[in-house]
């Protein structure tokens, strides 16, 4: 049974297949008559919308479950939720507060139901796949190998998005610079360890403690919110600590002349990124949103073992 839980957990060949299937002509009856359960313990716009759209495009149907309705681990055990869903659905895609939910569901269902991670505290793999597709579209007309040797700078809080992005980019040979204050920097741990050794041919992941050094000469600059879901109590402290990591025109002056800008959204305009930058010609944010759907199509097709 195939699962997409982290970028680290998928082989290079499987990732290449996902990138290909995301954009290749599709069979709109691949999921005919099959349901995909979408379980969200946390808020979402893009991930829910793109998942539902991708399932529909492949001929299936998506059913949404909020945590308020099913109480994952509170109204009912995670194991019983998993067993129930596996009786009725072929696949289950989840946004979770704890990564351990995936392992508990695999054990409870004897691995009978495919699982997709739609964001956990330490990973956002479907976002990273969309971001690779977006950058490959921009730099190589869709050819992922065009990213080899490029430099992508991530600036701000090193989040779940940063982790999956860094792994995905390094694995396709891009160099990743992460600029963050020490307390907000990537750490060599977790299910999506962006500081692991990715082997020959991989790009390097380099850490910087200031934004200017991180973006110097970069082909793309990426940022995410300073206040991720679950960090709300630290909001004021985070705004103070991260203020010098805002992506604005001045900072972009240190990047390559035609550098592009990415953001997974939702954006907090005026905090981690300015309006001017987000709405400029160099911003790829709406292509990223489009590719959330392509990425999900690729993941679903790969899980259904079409390739
Ligand atoms: N980028 C992203 O995952 O957006 P949502 O949280 O709105 O799904
Ligand atoms: N880092 C953010 C990403 C939202 C898509 C969060 O976890 O809230």
**pLDDT tens readout for residues 248-305:** 999 999 999 999 999 999 999 999 999 999 999 999 999 999 999 999 999 999 999 8
pLDDT over 90 (residue 106): yes
CB of 126 closer than 6 angstroms to any ligand 1 atom: no
Pocket test for ligand 2, best of 49, 162, 224 (most atoms within 8 A of CB): 224
- What CATH number is attached to the domain comprising 117? 3.40.50.1370
Q: From edge to edge, which strands make up the β-sheet containing 151-155? A: 205-208, 175-179, 151-155, 220-223, 260-263
Quote the mean pLDDT of the chain: 97
In a shared domain, residues 192 and 167: yes
In a shared domain, residues 117 and 134: no
Any idea which ligand is nearest the CA of 44? Answer: 1
In a shared domain, residues 73 and 159: no
The 3-state DSSP class for residue 228 equals coil
For 57-76, the pLDDT digits (tens) are 999 999 999 999 999 999 99
CB of 16 closer than 6 angstroms to any ligand 2 atom: no
E strand or H helix at 263 = strand 260-263
- Residue 138, in any domain of the structure: yes
For 120-159, the pLDDT digits (tens) are 999 999 999 999 999 999 999 999 999 999 999 999 999 9
The β-bridge partners of 262 are 222
Is 97 a known active-site residue? no
- Closest ligand 2 atom to the C-alpha of 228? 8
Closest C-alpha residue for ligand 2 atom 7: 228
* Cβ atoms < 10 Å from Cβ of 27: 12
The 3-state DSSP class for residue 176 equals strand
For 215-247, the pLDDT digits (tens) are 999 999 999 999 999 999 999 999 999 999 999
Q: What is the CA radius of gyration of the chain?
A: 19
- The CA distance from 52 to 61, in Å, is 7
- Closest ligand 2 atom to the C-alpha of 47? 5
Closest C-alpha residue for ligand 1 atom 6: 44
Structural domain boundaries, residue 58:
12-124+290-305
Domains in the chain, number:
2
In a shared domain, residues 118 and 250: no
Q: What is the 3-state secondary structure (H, E, C) of 275-290?
A: HHHHCCCCECHHHHHH
- The CA distance from 128 to 154, in Å, is 13
List the catalytic residue out of 95, 138, 163, 177. 95
Instruction: Find the 64 Cα to ligand 1 centroid distance in Å.
Output: 15
Nearest to 148 by CA among 127, 128, 160, 132: 132
The answer to whether 164 and 123 are in contact (CB under 8 A) is: yes
In a shared domain, residues 257 and 146: yes
Any idea which ligand is nearest the CA of 131? Answer: 1
CB of 265 closer than 6 angstroms to any ligand 1 atom: yes
- Residue 5, in any domain of the structure: no
Pocket test for ligand 1, best of 265, 284, 287 (most atoms within 8 A of CB): 265
Instruction: Find the 101 Cα to ligand 1 centroid distance in Å.
Output: 20
In a shared domain, residues 165 and 203: yes
Entry field: residues in the chain: 307
In a shared domain, residues 279 and 159: yes
pLDDT over 80 (residue 306): no
Instruction: Find the 84 Cα to ligand 2 centroid distance in Å.
Output: 28
């Amino acid at each position: 049974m195939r699962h997409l839980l982290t970028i680290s957990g998928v082989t290079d060949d499987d990732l290449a297949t996902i990138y290909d299937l995301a954009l290749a002509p599709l069979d709109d009856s691949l999921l005919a008559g099959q349901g995909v359960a979408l379980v969200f313990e946390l808020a979402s716009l893009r991930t829910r919308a793109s998942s539902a759209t991708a399932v529909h495009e492949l001929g299936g149907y998506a059913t949404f479950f909020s945590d308020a309705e099913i109480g994952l681990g509170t109204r009912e055990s995670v194991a019983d939720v998993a067993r129930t869903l596996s009786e009725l659905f072929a696949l289950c895609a989840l946004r979770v507060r704890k990564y351990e939910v995936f392992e508990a569901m695999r054990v409870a269902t004897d691995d009978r139901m495919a699982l997709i991670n739609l964001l956990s505290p330490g990973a956002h793999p479907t976002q990273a796949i969309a971001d690779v597709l977006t950058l490959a579209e921009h730099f190589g007309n869709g050819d992922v190998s065009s990213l080899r040797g490029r430099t992508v700078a991530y600036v701000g809080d090193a989040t779940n998005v940063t982790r999956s992005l860094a792994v995905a980019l390094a694995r396709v040979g891009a160099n990743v610079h992460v600029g963050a204050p020490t307390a907000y920097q990537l750490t060599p741990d977790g299910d999506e360890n962006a500081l692991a050794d990715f082997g020959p041919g991989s790009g390097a992941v380099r850490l910087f403690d200031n934004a200017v050094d991180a973006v110097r000469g970069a082909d793309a600059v990426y940022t995410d919110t300073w206040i991720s879901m679950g960090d709300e109590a630290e909001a004021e402290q985070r705004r103070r600590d991260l203020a010098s990591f805002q992506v604005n025109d001045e900072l972009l002056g240190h990047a390559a002349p035609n550098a592009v800008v990415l953001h997974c959204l939702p954006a907090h305009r005026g905090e981690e990124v300015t309006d001017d930058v987000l709405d400029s010609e160099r911003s790829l944010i709406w292509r990223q949103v489009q590719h959330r759907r392509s990425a999900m199509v690729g993941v679903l097709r790969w899980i259904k073992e079409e390739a």
